[in-house]
Amino acid sequence: MFCFVALMSGPLAVRADETDAGSANALLQEDQILSLSTILEIVRPITGDDILEVEVEHEASGLAYEIYFLDGQGHRRKIYVDARTGDLVPQKLDN
């Protein structure tokens, strides 16, 4: 499998819990998940413009967008967003 979207990337590690682009696209077409542009609008107040990478992953609660970004101090952070609702998955917020 491979990452769904890599916005600013070099080689990326792939894990078994990631959803491939074809599967993610099919879910999007079936209105099972929100589009990446919708998700990015929702999280922009948290992430700012420094998005590094986005993956769609299978989590215990369902599908989630895993979003890596740089915070205001230049530290790499990640958040998880429910792919169906756009809600933050708070226990997955990486402090």
- What is the pTM assigned to this prediction? 0.72
Residue ranges of E strands in 11-95: 51-59, 62-70, 76-82
Q: In the chain, where are the structural domains located?
A: 21-92
Q: Which CATH architecture has domain 21-92?
A: Roll (3.10)
Cα 91 from chain centroid? Answer: 15
Please identify which residue in the block is written with the tokens 């700012």. 48
Evaluate the CA torsion angle 9, 78, 22, 32 in order and state its sign: negative
- On average, the pLDDT of the chain sits at 78
Joined together, the tokens standing for residue 92 give: 């997955």
Per residue in 42-91, pLDDT tens? 999 999 999 999 998 887 778 899 999 999 999 999 999 999 999 998 76
Q: Which of 34, 49, 29, 45 is nearest to 81 (CA)?
A: 34
